[in-house]
Every structure is written in C-alpha cells, then in structure tokens.
Chain A
Amino acid sequence: MDVGQYLEIFIDETKEHLQSLNEHLLILEKEPDNDNTINEIFRAAHSLKGMAGTMGYKLMQRLTHDMENVFSEVRNGHLKVNSNMVDVLFRGLDALETYLANIIESSNEGDDDNEDILKDLNNFLQEGGASETKEEATKNNDRAPVSYDNDKYKFKNLKFEDHEKRAILRAGEMGLSVIGLTVYIQETCMLKGARAFMINRNLEEHGEIIKLDPSAQDIEDEKYDFVYSAFVITKEKPETLISVASSVSEVKEVVADYITISDEDKATLAASAKLVKDTQGKGTKDSGSLKASGATTAQKTTAKPVVNRSVRVDIDKLDVLMNLVSELIIAKNGLVSISSENEISTDSAYHEQLEYLERITTNLHESVMKTRMVPIESVVNRFPRMIRDISKKMNKDMELYMSGEDTELDRTVIDEIGDPLMHLLRNAADHGLEDNDVREKAGKNPKGSIFLDAYQEGNNVVIEVRDDGGGINVENVRQKAIDKGNITVEQADRMSEKDIIDLLFRPSFSTAEQVSEISGRGVGLDVVKTKIETLGGEIEAKTKLGEGTNFIIRLPLTLAIIQALMVIIGDEKYALPLGSIQTVENVKVSDIRQVEGKDVINLRGHVVPIIYLSQVLDCKTSDEKQDELLVAIVKKGERLGGMVVDALIGQQEIVIKSIGKYIKSSKLISGATVLGNGEVALILDVNSLV
C-alpha cells in the first residue's frame, strides 16, 4: 500500500476545501466577526494542512500552516480582518491552487516556495503576537483527554493474545511503553479505510503498532464502524500520539493512555500449562464486552444512512447507459410502427404491453437523465471570487447576487456553460456597471449590483445575467453598426430596437470604447452565442437605458432524447421539437395578408409571419391549390412564427443523432433521428427561422 492510491481522494478533497475557503473568506471580508465562518475556515485550513502533510507535500503544508496561524489569530481575536489581509490570503489560496494543479499534472507539487506570501502572512502574525497561538493549541489538545470516560476508551476493554502480551512485556523490559488509542472518525467520512491508513502511517512514524481492533485487513476494507483501537509500542507520551493521530482530517476524536499488563497476566504467561483454561475464561468475558459494543454499533448504523448514500460514477459509464436507453427507444419505436402497419394492431393485449413498454422506456430515460444532472452550483461558485477580484482591480464597488444555484443541468451542458457565463459576468462588471461616481450622480446606489439567476421553466433551464448599470445605448449601437458597415442607413431606420441589440451578437462587434484587461477584445458576445447554440440553447438580450441590461440564456434540459412532432413536408418526414411548438392551426389561405411582401396571419391578435417550410427546404411541392394550410406556431422568446407543413404524423419520442461534421447544411437542421421503420428523419431547428 502506498499513498498513490489516495491521490485522487486528496485532489478531490483539496478542491473542496479550497472552494470552501474561497467562499468563506469572501463572507469573512464582509462580516469580520462571524464566528461560524472563521471556525469553518480554520477547519478547512487545518484539514488541508493535515492532508498535504500526509501526502508528503511539504511546500503546500508549510503554506497552509502559516495561513492557519493567521486564521487562528483571527479566531482568538488577536488579529482584525482587513481587506489587505484577505488579499494576501487569497494570494495564498491561488498559490495552493497552483500546487494542486501541479499535483494533478505530475503528482508533484512543484518547487515554487511562495516566500513572499509566507513573509506577508508572518508580518500579520508579528503584528498580532503569535506566541499565544501555540499555547492555545496545546491547551486545546489537553482538553480532550481530561474527562476520563471508560466508554470512550474502548481499547481498555480489549484483551490481548498471548504473543501480544509477551510483546508488551518485552517492550517494558526495553524501557518502551505501550499506549492504547481509540480513534473516532467523523461519520461523514467517505473513505474511512483510507483515513485509518493515514492515521496508522503517522503513528508508525513514532512507534510500532502491535495490535489493531478490528484487524488491519478489516479496517482497510472499511469493515469497521468509524471507531477503532490501536496499540503502539513507543517511547512517546499518549498526548503526542493523540496529536499525531488528530492531524489527519475527518478525525473526530482520539483518546489514548498507557497500557500495562496485570500481574495476573504475567503469572499466566509463566504458567503456560494453565493457559488454555484461562483464555477460555477470558473469552466468555470478551464476548460479553463485545456484545455491549455491538449494541452501540447497531444504534450507530441506524443513524448513519442520512449522511451520505451516493456513489461516484465515471461519466463515460453514464454515457454508455444513455446510449443503451436511446437504442431501446429506437427498438420500441420499431415495435410501435410494426404494430400500426400489420394486423396485430387489432390485438388489444399486444397494445397494452406496448403501452406498458412505452411507459417504462420513458421513465427509464428520465431516470438516466436525472443521474446525469448536476447542480449549476459547481460552475457558478467560483464567480463571487471573480467579481471581487474585478471589483478590486477596477476600483469599482460591486456585488454579485446569485440565486437558484441548485438548478440542475445535464453534465455535458454544465461542463460547457462556465465560459459563456463568465464572459457575460465580466461584460456586466466592466461595461454594464458605471463607475461609482457616475452612479451616484444618476441617483443610484453607488455600489453596482450584478444578478445571476437560474431557474427551470418548462423543458428549459433559464439563466439570467442581469446588472443595474447604464444599459445599452441603442443609438450608439445603431451608429456603430452603420460606421462599421454592418448595416446601411436605410436598414438601420427600419430595424426595431430589438433587432439593433441583436447586432451585438454578431462577430467582432464590441462596443466598448476602450479595450480593458477584463473584456472588450473583440471576442465577444458572438462567441457566447455560438457556444450556447451548440448546446441547443438560445440567448437574448434586453436592456433599458439607465436601468441595466439583462442577458437571458435558455438551455434545454436534455440533449439526447426529445419529444417531437413528426410532420410531412413535400414527400419527406421531418421532426419538429415539441418544446418550441405552441399550437398547430388550420389557416384559411384567404386569411393570409401581405405585409411588406411577407405573408402574415392574424392569430388571436398577434401578427404571425408565415414560413413555407417546403420552400425553405427545397422540397418538391404539389401544384394543387389548397384552401387551408396546416401551420405549426413556434415561439421564440417574444416572437412567433408560423411553419407551414403538409401533414401531421403525430407526437413521438425521438433520439437525436448528429449528422456529422462533414455535411455543411444550414443551421436549420439540428440533427437526425432513426424512425421505427429504419428510415432517417431530419430534425428541424425551427427557432432559427423565427
């Protein structure tokens, strides 16, 4: 066994601790007297230090040690938190992240010792008077073993085998003492086997472990109940061993004391003849005490499952599962289409089973989707820190408010959405919010606010990035577009405010007057838009001059399987995603009006432009004149569009397949699907037409 196999756990936990430190430091900066926060920070820093030490990352350990000292001073009230100090601490966290990045890459922490940060940290300590820290720490250690509680000192109830007794006697002769320990590991610990291994490894540095209860193998296999006892031959004192063992993270408590062999035992050892009988006698006693501890075990297990009942699964395995579900749905669709074509369709029992199968596949699909869902929190939790940094760098007072961090999205979307969101937030911080004095003059709160809200809306997840800044000056954008030659003056006159704002999403259209370090380098909203569209989503901007800007991102909940309306256009079958269709209307040809050369209808008070899909798709059209058209009404944001189709087939669950990168089709085709009869039908992204 070596520490290598714990590297992954170490990396995961370090990430968690660093994130927690980041978050709590932000809180601490605002509420310097928040005891909970400082305790939380102290705990995280302490765990980090212990873990880094165990893994042998000395530089990391040293840095966290010094940071911990500062936290400790703050906790004891010797130091006051100020923004300067938080800056240094953040630098420390960044350095730790660099160490971690190195470790992930090469399992080596690198050799940057970050002297400057250490020096700055120690300067704080000198201001505060560091000497008291240590006293405090030792006091803390002393406190634990004061209450002498036999229940806690489980090792005292354990009996030794003869060879163990002999070892203890020999140790005594050599001037070494035997110390018994009982280690309590936090019940939230995920890998108690690994924890115990780390503790034991630390203990072995100070002596020799002669006995473990449960056995070493059981502990390694996690066959114990967060409590175990160890006996160590050592020349150290129990207190030393306690502190050694508690330096490992997730250890709740450690108790220890000297072990001596009773005279009676010594006698038994000498008189080996009586030995068998004697141990039998003890055996019964043993089982008695075992039963007692067994009872407590049982109590604990009943309380445990609340804490954590999750399994980490490789995303690839979920992808395989998802593919299998997709194939199952295609096979099911095949059965459905056979039944509708053949005579078996009259058999009602067959139909019942088919419907049953349909229900199962739909539920199965939903369950698999759910396992792939991840809260958006994992992406957005780094943003408060980012906004703070920007705020400092630009000397602009601002605050980020987030809501709906628990909104869940498919894993593949989560991985991709971080960059676009970061881009929008930076935009908001840089161009969106005015400088503090400008805000004050305009009668606003000098401190700018940025909002990041996530919520579910039907089959979509909506993420809004909003600021209460100056808003987009539509006239400026119009002028700029004309200057750049994107549009002509005549076009500009005819464009609505919304059309103008949409220009911002065109490539290389940055309105920032100055290029700053934060944003405005020409790689702009068009990149954000492209990214979101590849995820099957859409983005829209709303703005009000003087009041702020709102970017609204809509993302589909699922990526692989959707409900679709199957239609016939010309002599081809197409799938329209049901999510974007509002209604399907029968429209009389005589009701169609012409506005600026475009066909529109008046649908219950809304003017809806008509799009003839057969023309857009170059389908063969029949020459027959029809009195009525079948129009699927599509809604995109505020806008409506009417798609003319020739016939409806019905609603169907379809599996989206990519048509590959080689075919350069219009954006209109978002993918293809295999129908029940083996035919391929194309999926139309009708939103792109509206």
Chain B
Amino acid sequence: MAAEVSKQYIIIYLNNIPHAIEIKYIESIIVMQNITRIPKAQSYFKGVINLRGDVVPVMSLRLRLKMDECDYTNSTRIIILKLEEHGAPVGVIVDAVKEVISLDDSDIEKLSYDETEEKASNSLGIGKYKDELISILNVPSIIGGEKKND
C-alpha cells in the first residue's frame, strides 16, 4: 500500500459530534421523508421510504450508534448508502450534513490493528482534519453488522 492514499469523506453531525462517511458508499443525500414503520424490526430501523419508486429501508444512525434520539429538524437528512455498486440501498438518518473533505490514510489514527475486531467495530479510526478529530464510520459494519451477533 502506498503511504499517501487520499480518500474523500462526507462530514455528518450526530449530537453535534462530527463523523465521516467515505464517499464511495454514498448514493445520494435527500431531505427527510415520510417513513412507513415496519413492525417487529430492529429498533434502530425507522421503517421504509419511497425513493423514486423503490422501497428503501431507513435506520436512525443515532440509535444505531447507541445515542439518544432527537426530533427531526430542517437540517435532518437521509443519506442513501450502497455497499456495492448494484447492492441494495439503505438510508441512514443524520442530524446534518456539512462538507466534503479529503483525508490521507496517514491522517487517520486506527483504533485497533486486529482485523476481526476492526470488522465488528462501528468506527474505522479517528481522522485528523484541521483541529478536529473525526470518527470515520465503518459503513459495512453499521449497515449489515449486527447480523452475526443475533
């Protein structure tokens, strides 16, 4: 691996804390929509929305990361994520979307060097951007992660 690999991230806010999502997973960002509740689903799944004729499940990222829920505001957004190019889309609800940044791999401090532990964790590491420390979200684990634990 080359030392200087730069990737683009989108900065989102949850509870006023910045988090970063790698841009390759992001399909689109939409404003809050009417959500149809799914009974008996995992608690963090809020339901499904109609995304241009397709039915897309939506989760609350706050609940998923074990934070308290809060009311939706004007800045609340749904980020549509896809793990693979032709995979099924999933929406995550975030408090706000701020900006796109570039981070070199060297700017990211890994939390763990253990492969299996890393896969299970919701965070890939801490990125240093300007003066802020940003948690880099582990998208595959967040979307599909809890399967093994059940």
Contacts and interface: CB of A to CB of B under 8 A. Distances in A.
Contact of B39 (A618, A662, A674): A618
Given A660-B88, A662-B90, A674 B55 contact: yes
B112 interface: no
A659 B40 CA distance: 13
Interface in A511-546: none
Contacts of B49: 680
B36 A617 contact: no
Contact of B88 (A616, A661, A680): A661
A663 B53 contact: no
A111 interface: no
A93 to B, nearest CB: 39
Given A664-B41, A664-B42, A665-B40, A680 B90 contact: no
A64 to B, nearest CB: 42
A444 interface: no
A665 B46 CA distance: 12
Interface string A649-690: 000000001111111111011011110001111100000000
A354 to B, nearest CB: 20
Contacts of B40: 617-618, 665-666, 668-669
A572 interface: yes
Contact of B36 (A327, A664, A680): A680
B73 interface: no
A572 B36 contact: yes
B127 interface: no
A665 B45 CA distance: 10
A330 interface: yes
Given A661-B88, A662-B144, A663-B45, A678 B50 contact: yes
Given A674-B50, A680-B49, A666 B39 contact: yes
A679 B34 CA distance: 7
A669 B38 contact: yes
Contacts of A330: 53
B143 interface: yes
A659 B38 contact: yes
Contact of A679 (B45, B50, B53): B50
B54 A572 contact: no
B126 to A, nearest CB: 27
A680 B55 contact: yes
B57 A662 contact: yes
Contacts of A672: 36, 48, 55
A385 B55 CA distance: 44
Interface in B94-150: 143-144, 150
B56 interface: yes
Interface in A615-644: 616-619
A659 B55 contact: yes
A324 to B, nearest CB: 11
Contacts, number: 76
A169 B28 CA distance: 77
Interface string B63-102: 0000000000000000000000000111000000000000
Identify the interface centre among B36, B47, B89, B143: most chain A CB within 10 Å of its CB: B36
Nearest to B36: A680
B24 interface: no
Contact of A572 (B37, B56, B144): B37
A163 to B, nearest CB: 58
B150 to A, nearest CB: 7
B150 A657 contact: no
A26 B7 CA distance: 64
Contacts of B143: 662
Contacts of B54: 657
A619 B49 CA distance: 18
A311 B90 CA distance: 39
B50 A680 contact: yes
Contacts of A657: 54-55
A680 B37 CA distance: 9
Contacts of B55: 657-660, 671-674, 680
Nearest to A678: B50
A678 B53 CA distance: 8
A665 B38 contact: yes
Given A327-B53, A680-B55, A668 B38 contact: no
A679 B36 contact: yes
B98 to A, nearest CB: 26
Contacts of B90: 660, 662
Contacts of B88: 658, 660-662
B43 to A, nearest CB: 11
A662 B142 CA distance: 11
A682 to B, nearest CB: 7
B150 A664 contact: yes
Contact of B57 (A619, A660, A674): A660
Nearest to A674: B50
B42 A659 contact: no
A668 B89 CA distance: 22
A668 B150 CA distance: 19
Q: Which of B38, B42, B47, B54 lies at the interface centre, i.e. has the most chain A CB atoms within 10 A of its CB?
A: B38
B48 A659 contact: yes
Contacts of A617: 39-40
Interface in B3-50: 34, 36-42, 45, 47-50
Nearest to B58: A663
Nearest to A657: B55
A682 B49 CA distance: 11
Q: Which of A619, A658, A682 has the most CB of B within 10 A?
A: A682
Contacts of A673: 55
B89 to A, nearest CB: 8
Contacts of A681: 36
A619 B40 CA distance: 11
Nearest to A664: B42
A475 B141 CA distance: 48
A662 B90 CA distance: 8
B145 to A, nearest CB: 10
Nearest to B42: A664
A617 B41 CA distance: 10
A676 to B, nearest CB: 11
A666 B56 CA distance: 17
B112 to A, nearest CB: 25
A680 B48 CA distance: 7
A660 B56 contact: yes
B57 A659 contact: yes
B36 A665 contact: no
Contacts of B36: 572, 672, 679-682
A669 B38 CA distance: 8
A679 B37 CA distance: 11
Contacts of A682: 36, 38-39, 48
A671 to B, nearest CB: 8
Contacts of A674: 50, 53, 55
Interface string A312-338: 000000000000000100100000000
| Most B-side CB within 10 Å, residue of A672, A678, A681 | A672
A260 B34 CA distance: 87
Nearest to B56: A660
28 contacts: A572-B37, A616-B39, A619-B39, A657-B54, A658-B88, A659-B38, A659-B48, A660-B56, A660-B90, A662-B144, A663-B38, A665-B38, A665-B39, A665-B41, A666-B40, A669-B38, A669-B39, A671-B55, A672-B55, A673-B55, A674-B50, A674-B55, A680-B36, A680-B49, A680-B50, A682-B36, A682-B38, A682-B39
